[in-house]
């Protein structure tokens, strides 16, 4: 057990191809050589714990291995997907519930701030504790934690969490709920609103690209940052309660300028929400002024519906919920 575990940084980032397109978006956590467990391995040199989306994990791994081989990097990639499980506890009471099964002080924001990770001990019962890697991250835009657990301990940790959160109303949530929440927050889903033919600048992910140092696709990213982009990811909310699923045509002032890459229902906003990359009919650069000045409609099953266009999701635009600030 670690009474004062070291805290390390976790960052959300993108892996690009030579055209500047996003081949993968992942979280990368700095780790130190640990105690030999799967989530806390022993190694020499630098170590990174990379978490990819379940649906795109093999594509991510393939891209990493190809890059390592092409650049002759001295690196070893170990896939632990089958040996580790992930439980994500999210929501305004997530900290309160998790605190019940650990002696680590989660209330101290400096101890485990957003975008950090540590190996913590969880109390399964009075006689048994389990070490897990905890990432302070969220796929749904809420205060929350990801618990990365050795396979043999997953059931024990799950049962301990459900017992600890019974009075708070802790419930299971499926992937459809996660997709809706992440879309409402404005987070990406690789393969849908983020693909290998989309650059970080086009996808509003320019903040993930470092200014110093080189990386694959940097020349394309730098050129777009300097000159502009021909397509841009934006958000649409519909005024009428009509379901959208993706691929619906988007019109600006009567002209088609794109299609929905992703469509969900935003249960907090209480309206349909979707993401689309918009272009200009004249092929010129897409600017914020061009986006703001249009009148938009979305075609659903042959019928046109008025839509509001947003440069970013209207849900929690300041990101306060991730910090545990609920109003």
The runs of H, that is alpha helices, within the chain are 57-71, 94-99, 154-164, 175-185, 218-227, 288-292
Report angle CA 163, 166, 168 to the nearest 5 degrees.
135
Token representation of residue 102? 């650990």
Report angle CA 235, 237, 240 to the nearest 5 degrees.
160
Whole-number Å distance between alpha carbons of 221 and 55: 26
CA dihedral 320, 324, 325, 327 (to 10 degrees): 110
Tell me if 146 is assigned to a ligand binding site. yes
Instruction: Please classify residue 172 by burial: count the beta carbons closer than 10 Å to its beta carbon, then call 0-12 exposed, 13-18 middle and 19+ buried.
Output: exposed
Sheet strand arrangement including 116-125: 47-51, 22-31, 8-16, 116-125, 128-135, 144-150, 84-90
Q: Pick out the residues of the known binding site for substrate.
A: 146
Annotated binding site: 146
């Amino acid at each position: 057990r670690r009474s004062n575990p070291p805290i390390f940084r976790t960052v959300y980032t993108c892996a690009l191809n030579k055209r500047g397109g996003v081949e993968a978006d992942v979280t990368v956590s700095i780790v130190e050589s640990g105690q030999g467990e799967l989530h806390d391995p022993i190694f020499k040199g630098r170590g990174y714990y990379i978490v990819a989306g379940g649906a795109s994990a093999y594509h991510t791994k393939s891209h990493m291995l190809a890059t390592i081989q092409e650049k002759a990097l001295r690196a070893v990639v170990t896939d632990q997907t089958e040996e580790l499980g992930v439980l994500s506890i999210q929501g305004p009471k997530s900290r309160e519930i998790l605190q019940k099964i650990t002696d680590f002080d989660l209330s101290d924001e400096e101890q485990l701030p957003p975008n950090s990770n540590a190996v913590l001990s969880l109390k399964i019962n009075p006689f048994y504790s389990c070490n897990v890697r905890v990432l302070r991250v969220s796929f749904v835009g809420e205060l929350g934690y990801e618990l990365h657990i050795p396979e043999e301990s997953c059931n024990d940790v799950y049962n301990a969490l459900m017992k600890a959160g019974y009075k708070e109303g802790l419930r299971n949530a499926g992937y459809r709920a996660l997709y809706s929440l992440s879309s409402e927050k404005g987070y990406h889903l690789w393969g849908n609103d983020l693909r290998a033919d989309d650059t970080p600048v086009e996808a509003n992910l320019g903040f993930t690209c470092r200014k110093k140092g080189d990386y694959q696709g940097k020349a394309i990213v730098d050129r777009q940052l300097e000159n502009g982009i021909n397509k841009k990811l934006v958000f649409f909310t519909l005024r009428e309660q009509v379901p959208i699923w993706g691929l619906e045509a988007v019109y600006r002032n009567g002209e088609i300028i794109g299609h929905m890459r992703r469509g969900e229902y935003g249960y907090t906003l209480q309206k349909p929400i979707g993401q689309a990359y918009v272009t200009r009919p004249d092929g010129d650069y897409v600017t914020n002024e061009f986006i703001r000045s249009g009148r938009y409609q979305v075609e659903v099953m042959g019928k046109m519906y008025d839509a509001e266009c947003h440069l970013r999701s209207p849900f929690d635009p300041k990101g306060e919920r991730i910090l545990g600030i609920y109003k």
